[in-house]
Structure 1
């Protein structure tokens, strides 16, 4: 069973529907006890970093996620959920994340429009299992975000995307993965990434 963490993120129903489309056995949970036996976890997210982390803490999910990570349970963070996986964010000052992947979250420093919104390309070499079956050229995903990951070790960068400059758009470390884009809105590329995660 795949546990989908429900802390009030607005995209959670779309994620659940995408998983159902794939035939995945999934369960939405507002408390850790509801998904204590989950074989994999998905942490969706839309919104601001600080209130999101505070809600995770209030619902008991911070300790649960850290404990699950230590038990080698595969975890996928989506959009804001990916940013939670990092050590910290500079959004609304400084706030600590889960620290499951080294790095931090910073605002785009570009002349162009922020947030980065719309379809953009994933650059990857196809070597990571989470990218199986996703073409290394002309693979596009749907993004909506003003902050991005930085200071990520090269070994943890699975894919990059360019918006003013290249930044990590898919990251991973052992059993922990993060996608800055919205797989549930990214058509075949997004569904394939979710399927690959389900099949890990």
Structure 2
């Protein structure tokens, strides 16, 4: 049974994430101990809420360094919603707060001429060279998004223009959408994540 360590970032919807992993036969547990996050075979960085507050919590527990170390070592790690945004260098939501900086660039707000936040289902189009990401419909709840992720294979969706719906590099996945709320599509992605060695 694959154990997944879930890193609390504040107001993350941890109950639904844990339920999604349990449905797939995994054994999820929550920990913000740096040693647990470093040693775990699989880690999820969830997030609901603000970039700055989530990042502050990671820094407080020394998890920023540990997560960067995991990702640099290509260990199975999935980041969702605000967790996905934390992988970037910075966000317009929290000026002056550095992110993990694993992905170059900034997360920006959706343009004013579309509904913000984006709530609901949107079509995800995977890149041709995607290994883990696939086309399908996923559930989003976000006001901010990245429009590019240099060095990563991306899947896109459109809301006020194309944006990064998800990205992958080796054994690391970032999802702007909520796989735990995305029905069979999301469950299939989490299942592929659990199969990573």
If the length of structure 2 is used for normalisation, what is the TM-score?
A: 0.91
CA RMSD in angstroms, aligned pairs only: 1.6
Structure 1 SS opposite 2:132 = helix
Paired position in structure 1 for 2:152? 156
Cα shift readout 1:158-178 (whole Å, capped 9, x = no counterpart): 210000211111112233220
Structure 1 SS opposite 2:141 = strand
Paired position in structure 2 for 1:143? 140
Query: Is 1:183 matched with 2:193?
Result: no
Paired position in structure 2 for 1:57? 59
Paired position in structure 2 for 1:88? 90
1:123, distance to aligned residue in structure 2 (A): 1.0
Assess if the C-alpha contact under 8 Å between 1:27 and 1:35 holds in 2.
no
Choose from 38, 46, 49 the match for 1:47: 49
Choose from 156, 162, 186 the match for 1:166: 162
Where does the alignment leave 5 or more consecutive residues of structure 1 unmatched? none
Cα shift readout 1:69-97 (whole Å, capped 9, x = no counterpart): 23321211100000001111111323211
Distance 1:7 1:114 in 2: 22
User: Size of the alignment, in residue pairs?
Assistant: 194
If the length of structure 1 is used for normalisation, what is the TM-score?
A: 0.90
1:126, distance to aligned residue in structure 2 (A): 5.7
1:125, distance to aligned residue in structure 2 (A): 4.2
Structure-2 change in CA distance of 1:181 and 1:107 (3 Å): same
